[in-house]
Amino acid sequence: MLDRFVRRLSHIDAFPKVQRNIQQPTGSGGLATLLVGVLLAYLTLSEFAQYRAVTQDYEFLVDQTRSNGKADLGLQINLDLTIATPCQQLRADVLDYSGTTLGVSHQLESKEVVFSTKGTRLFRDVSGKDKGVNVHKIVGQAKKAEKEDASAHPNDGAACRVTGALKLAKVSGMLHFTALGHGYAGGHTPHEVMNFTHRIDKLSFGAYYPGLHNPLDRTLELAKTPLDMFQYFIAVVPTIYLDNRRTFGSKVLLTNQYAVTDYQRSLEGQAVGGVPGIFIKYDIEPIMVRITESHQGFLNFLTRLCGIIGGIFVTIGILLDVIRWMMKWF
């Protein structure tokens, strides 16, 4: 019964068979086989790498997620900042474009630490020829210059690490850190303990998504005088992240990206107005970026791989026939 079924199957065999007594191995065929094997191995690995890779498509849309000041749909600021001034001499506030002033010191966690520059980079020198700047060397030179400069203020190394997440209205505004008595009412902070040298370990807006690059993460700024004013001008771009690879759980993530420029000036001995401190001014752009992350399907990968293998064999076979024909006639 089985033999009869196999004989019937042999009648519909679409793959031609070549008898061994008419096969003739050649050196050119062997060389072509080696080349085909190497080429197929390379293309197979390339296809597998592409199958494993994740692609991101970017679209630009008008932002329709404005919350009109509702805190539940507002803006979240994630912060990890260390300032070379004792915590009891610092205050944090937010002033937004709606005219609302919020004291946010109670929403952030403050901890007394010793200021360190390990693992940071100078924000002003992260591009161009100064990209490989040695932060420790520059900080050492700065400390040496402070000792030689009679106008430089002393610092015992006390610092304040401020961490936390602020949930604010989704309107443009300014987050700023100032010393008590400078800019707001309260006890006056002596100039000799003020130092707004700071390092930013994390500054982001909204939730984290894979591949997000925050320009201010792990950056360092050095104050030259007790009355230095640091300003960051940040353009926040709302971002929708779509993960088409996920089967379970949320596939949509609302977050933000940003670009930044900075400015530093000293108010010591100047008649112009200003308040020493760190001022982070953020503007929310009306354009939204939608990032769609996708992954090549297995069936698509298998189809492409079969097409490559079959195409290579057919193409190489045709080329060998043409070369043999030309060698025969010429």
Q: Is pLDDT above 90 for 148?
A: no
List b or e across 236-253, with b for residues whose CB sees 16 or more CB atoms inside 10 angstroms: bbbbbbbbeeeeeeeeeb
Q: Is pLDDT above 50 for 76?
A: yes
The more confident residue out of 32 and 163 is 163
Please compute the mean of the pLDDT values over residues 71-78 and round it to a whole number. 74
Give 199's pLDDT tier (boundaries 50, 70, 90): very high
Strand order in the sheet with 121-122: 109-114, 158-168, 75-83, 198-205, 219-221, 121-122
Per-residue pLDDT tens over the stretch 242-251: 876 655 445 7
Give 279's pLDDT tier (boundaries 50, 70, 90): very high
Per-residue pLDDT tens over the stretch 22-35: 566 667 677 777 88
In whole angstroms, what is the distance from residue 194 CA to residue 11 CA? 94
Residues 6+ apart with CB under 8 A from 210: 293
User: Where do we find the tokens 């709606």?
Assistant: 98
Pairing verdict, β 109-114 and 158-168: antiparallel
Give 18's pLDDT tier (boundaries 50, 70, 90): low
Predicted model pTM: 0.65
Per-residue pLDDT tens over the stretch 85-131: 999 899 999 998 877 778 888 889 999 988 876 655 555 433 334 44
Closest CA to 258 of 206, 293, 200: 206
Tell me the range of 153-167, 244-258, 310-324 where mean pLDDT is highest: 310-324
User: Where do we find the tokens 């050196």?
Assistant: 27
Q: Give the Å distances, CA to CA, from 111 to 85, 158, 201, 256.
A: 11, 11, 15, 28
Strand partners, 256: 238
pLDDT computed for residue 96 by the predictor: 87
pLDDT computed for residue 131 by the predictor: 40
> What is the residue-averaged pLDDT of the chain?
77
CA atoms within 13 A on the CB side of 5: 2
Task: With beta carbons less than 8 A apart as the criterion, state whether 163 and 79 touch.
Answer: yes
